[in-house]
A and B are shown apart, each in its own frame.
Chain A
Amino acid sequence: MAKTFSYTAQSSKSALKAAGGIDLDEADRAIINALQGDFPVCEHPYAQVASDLGLEERQVIGRIEKLLADGVLSRFGPLYHAEKMGGELTLAAIAVPEDRFDDVTDLVNAHEEVAHNYERDDDLNMWFVVATDQPGRIAEIISDIENETGLAVHNMPKLEEFFVGLRFEV
């Protein structure tokens, strides 16, 4: 199977050791540690994982369900590469005057293409991700936000990706 650069890099990295705050038993830990990368694509994938880990198929399914419900896992499934799906993404930032922060937040968040928006402790104090599935739309949205807010938007699309991913060991 061909692997992307980031995948290769990920498998060569060590996992971060998790600590504190959560109560997991051995089966939970085995599932979290084993399933961050290669969930099988086959007729009975949970049964295969179960047999690799010495668990029952219904245990694996039940544990994943519970870990998702408890918020220990934020997702389970395929992680897609947005640009390779034909989408376009950028990271943008604005230096927002303090007294206008709430208004500007509303104006920026009103765009459905704004996926994430964070306040950060810097002169550039608002950082947001714009994602569209129509190539060429990003520039339009950035210029709309500039017109609506009267503030300069710094558009910082990625020029090269070196790594995406992170493994945790619990």
Chain B
Amino acid sequence: MPELDTTKELDATDRLIIEATQAGLPLTPQPYHEIAKRLELDAKDVMDRIKAMQDSGVIRRIGVVPNHYKLGYRGNGMSVWDIADADISSVGKIVGALDCVSHCYHRPRQGVDWPYNLFAMVHGHDRTEVADKVAAIADQLGELQKGHKILFSTRILKKTGLRLKGSNTTGRDPSATRSAA
């Protein structure tokens, strides 16, 4: 399915719903009705809009996010890879599909000191396990990778979480609204 330009399709009501649910869903028997009540909307409209946002990919998924530290995954490393430009998409898909990888992106190289253009967060119970997994990925990629390393975090300096203002419509056409699916 081609990617939709979803930013133009989100209207002010969608953005209110986004804002109301960024911190989570209400823990009441009818959470969507609860959101509708808070926003003075119709519950069916809220549910239709949430489903439409799932279809367009604005909502990646709805569910629980386990805290990986609490589940015993304490050794998380950012692995970075130097991959030939011609191979980046195919290699990115291979690495992204590995069970231990949570985020996998192509990013621009930064000159001779930073030839790495593929980033993959690798999760393990400790750093040794992460290093072993990265070594196994390197083996699997063989000559498709020309260099790699792992950057472990040594300190969290700031963590506020992403809270984009759902209702901000700066630079968008307010008339470009989408009817609920």
Is B truly associated with A? yes
- Candidates A16, A64, A81, A161; contact of B59 at CB < 8 Å: A81
Interface residues of A (CB under 8 A from B): 1-2, 4, 6-7, 9-10, 12-16, 18-22, 31-32, 35-39, 41-47, 57, 61, 64-65, 67-68, 70-82, 84-87, 89, 91, 105, 108-109, 114-124, 126-129, 131, 133-135, 154-166, 168, 170
Query: Nearest Cβ in chain B — how far from A48, in angstroms?
Result: 11
7 A-B pairs with the lowest CB-CB distances in the bound complex, closest first: A163-B96, A162-B96, A18-B71, A86-B7, A166-B102, A162-B92, A77-B24
* Bitwise interface map of B from 90 to 105 toward A, beta carbon under 8 Å scored 1, else 0: 0011011111111111
Pair count A-B, CB < 8 A: 276
**Is the beta-carbon distance between A39 and B63 smaller than 8 angstroms?**
yes
**Is the beta-carbon distance between A84 and B6 smaller than 8 angstroms?**
yes
Which B residues from 18 to 59 make CB contacts under 8 A with A? 18, 21-25, 27-33, 43, 47, 50-51, 53-59
Query: With A and B bound together, what is the CA distance between A114 and B159 in angstroms?
Result: 9
User: Of all chain A residues, which has the CB nearest B91?
Assistant: A162
**Beyond A4-B60, A168-B68, 18 extra complex contacts between A and B, CB < 8 Å:** A12-B97, A21-B70, A22-B70, A22-B72, A46-B29, A74-B66, A77-B23, A78-B25, A78-B62, A79-B65, A81-B57, A87-B164, A116-B160, A119-B156, A134-B168, A160-B106, A163-B97, A164-B103
